[in-house]
Amino acid sequence: MSQLETPLFDALLKHRNRQPIQFHIPGHKKGQGMDPAFREFVGDNVLSIDLINIAPLDDLHSPKGVIKEAQKLAAEAFGADHTFFSIQGTSGAIMTMILTVVGPGDKIIVPRNVHKSTMSAIVLAGAIPIFIAPEIDTEYGISHGISAESVERALNTYPDAKAVLVINPTYYGFAADLKKIVDVAHERSVPVIVDEAHGVHIKFHDELPISAMEAGADMAATSVHKLGGSMTQSSVLNVREGLVSINRIQSVFSMLTTTSTSYPILASLDCARRQLAVNGHELIDESIRLAKDARKRINKIPHLKCAGREKLNSSATYDMDPTKLLISVKDLGITGHQAEEWLRQNANIEVELSDLYNILCIITLGDTKKEVNLLINALQRMSQAFDSEASIVESLVRVPDIPALAMSPRNAFYSQTEMMPLKDSAGYICSEFIMVYPPGIPIFIPGEIITEENIKYIQMNIDAGLPVQGPEDPSLKTIRVIKERKPIF
């Protein structure tokens, strides 16, 4: 088959054109049984392909027909041996990767700043996380990836580790020396699994960081919906055979996936793959050009700063994706959150994210010069609006110690717990996730022993007005810990 073809989308169109009389779910039956206002708004086309796994349309849980063909074309496009379509985002694909490589008591090496789906899978698997501290950028107040050297040290210290997980690239677009990390792990026959949520496009342009499959990684969970032009929730799990088994992945994937798979979402994956494979280079080239131009212009706006290749100085910050515009607003005397709100109120612009010091704007296949000009114009106006408050601000980015893990996150998750005053909690085992932004690294995860140093770190951040995330008690006067078993006399 050729990359110009879309077997799954074509099968849906063919099926719809036959106009079969449907006696199966979904019960809205091509929209006829649906609330009219919603039906009219979304249109009959999408509803007519909102179908289910009847024989002509194959089954994601055991693909033998058009889904198999579509996945095969995707594997070819991504340079993988096998591709699984996920309709549960990259979160679902990450959980599949982790539950494939680790079981109860197994160690897995992960960066401390992992996405919550990684920690959820570690809890479900009953695995033991071995954390690597990511590199910190004190200028922008963000965390980067992990270095190949730290992965090597972790593997030397824990030779029984069953896998290494790498985030490549990070949300902010920075990439580690993935090839080196893969080589270090493969020398020990340890599989490398990659959270590639922000990297679907990188395979299709040589000015972008190396993709997980190109670097020789064993699995990569990749959000096609984020930067690759498909519908929200659609991702792929790319696999290189050797250290992991396709059959095992298929069964774990099936355990975690709904039996009511969305065909519009699957079809959008099929078509996004075609667009990336056939026109990806040209489209991404234009995004890169627009973003580079935007970066240059932002760096000329007083008090604003947009991160670029000058940040690349270690094996954790080895390469970058120029289509991510990380814009520091701290010297304007406002927070990233205030900038987000100002842009919403005054320019009708929605940014990708904001934190204490920055906003992040992404330039994708969907942008043109017009949108970029609107952004630059709005940023210039914002700079003028706050000009009188501007001053050089030192960022307050400190890194917490990683506490000792007393029990697996899974055991902590299932233990009996109680609330206690934070100030008295040293020595107890934490049962919640607590992090401070920036740099968004957990201070505690369930199962870790609370220390005086970490309590002081939390207090220092609260006193500095930095947002603490995760605890049940948002004031953090109290913390949830594993209930102490007192001796009975």
Ligand X SMILES: Cc1ncc(COP(=O)(O)O)c(C=O)c1O
Positions in the binding site for ligand X (CB under 6 A): 89-91, 94, 115, 117, 167, 171, 195, 197, 223, 235
Q: Beta strand pairing status for 353-354 and 358-362?
A: antiparallel
Measured from the CB atom, is 86 or 454 closer to ligand X? Answer: 86
Q: Under 8 Å CB-to-CB from 308, ≥6 apart: which residues?
A: 295, 299, 320, 322
Measured from the CB atom, is 231 or 349 closer to ligand X? Answer: 231
Q: What is the sign of the dihedral through the CA atoms of 103, 107, 108 and 112?
A: positive
Q: How far is the CB of 117 from ligand X (least distance, A)?
A: 6
Measured from the CB atom, is 197 or 306 closer to ligand X? Answer: 197
Q: How far is the CB of 120 from ligand X (least distance, A)?
A: 11
- Cβ pair 221, 90 in contact under 8 A: yes
- 3-class secondary structure, 274: helix
Q: How far is the CB of 214 from ligand X (least distance, A)?
A: 19
- Cβ pair 176, 168 in contact under 8 A: yes
Cα angle for residues 264, 266, 272 (degrees, 5° grid): 100
Measured from the CB atom, is 151 or 382 closer to ligand X? Answer: 151
Q: Tokens standing for 412?
A: 């902590």
Measured from the CB atom, is 215 or 224 closer to ligand X? Answer: 224
- Cβ pair 168, 87 in contact under 8 A: no
Strands, E, within 291-406: which ranges?
Answer: 305-306, 319-320, 324-328, 353-354, 358-362
Q: Tokens standing for 398?
A: 């400190």
Q: How far is the CB of 230 from ligand X (least distance, A)?
A: 11
Q: How far is the CB of 451 from ligand X (least distance, A)?
A: 28
Measured from the CB atom, is 194 or 455 closer to ligand X? Answer: 194
Measured from the CB atom, is 66 or 219 closer to ligand X? Answer: 219
Amino acid at 228: G
Calculate Rg over the CA atoms of the chain.
Answer: 24
Q: How far is the CB of 425 from ligand X (least distance, A)?
A: 30
Q: What is the sign of the dihedral through the CA atoms of 224, 8, 74 and 116?
A: positive
Q: How far is the CB of 231 from ligand X (least distance, A)?
A: 11
Measured from the CB atom, is 50 or 195 closer to ligand X? Answer: 195
- How many Cα neighbours within 13 Å face the side chain of 486? 2
In Å, what is the CA distance from 216 to each residue of 179, 238, 428? 7, 11, 42
Measured from the CB atom, is 11 or 108 closer to ligand X? Answer: 108
Strands, E, within 254-357: which ranges?
Answer: 305-306, 319-320, 324-328, 353-354
Measured from the CB atom, is 91 or 238 closer to ligand X? Answer: 91
Tell me which residue has its CB nearest to ligand X. 89
Supply φ then ψ for residue 468, to 5 degrees: -100, 130
**Angstrom distance (rounded) from CA 438 to CA 461:** 10
Q: How far is the CB of 89 from ligand X (least distance, A)?
A: 3
Amino acid at 103: G
Cα angle for residues 124, 145, 357 (degrees, 5° grid): 105
- Cβ pair 461, 470 in contact under 8 A: no
Strand-pairing partners, residue 196, are 222
In Å, what is the CA distance from 93 to each residue of 97, 117, 423? 6, 9, 39
Measured from the CB atom, is 85 or 171 closer to ligand X? Answer: 171
Q: How far is the CB of 225 from ligand X (least distance, A)?
A: 6
Q: How far is the CB of 196 from ligand X (least distance, A)?
A: 8
Q: How far is the CB of 199 from ligand X (least distance, A)?
A: 10
Q: How far is the CB of 168 from ligand X (least distance, A)?
A: 9
Strand-pairing partners, residue 222, are 196, 236
Q: Which residue has the tokens 């607003």?
A: 329
Measured from the CB atom, is 90 or 335 closer to ligand X? Answer: 90
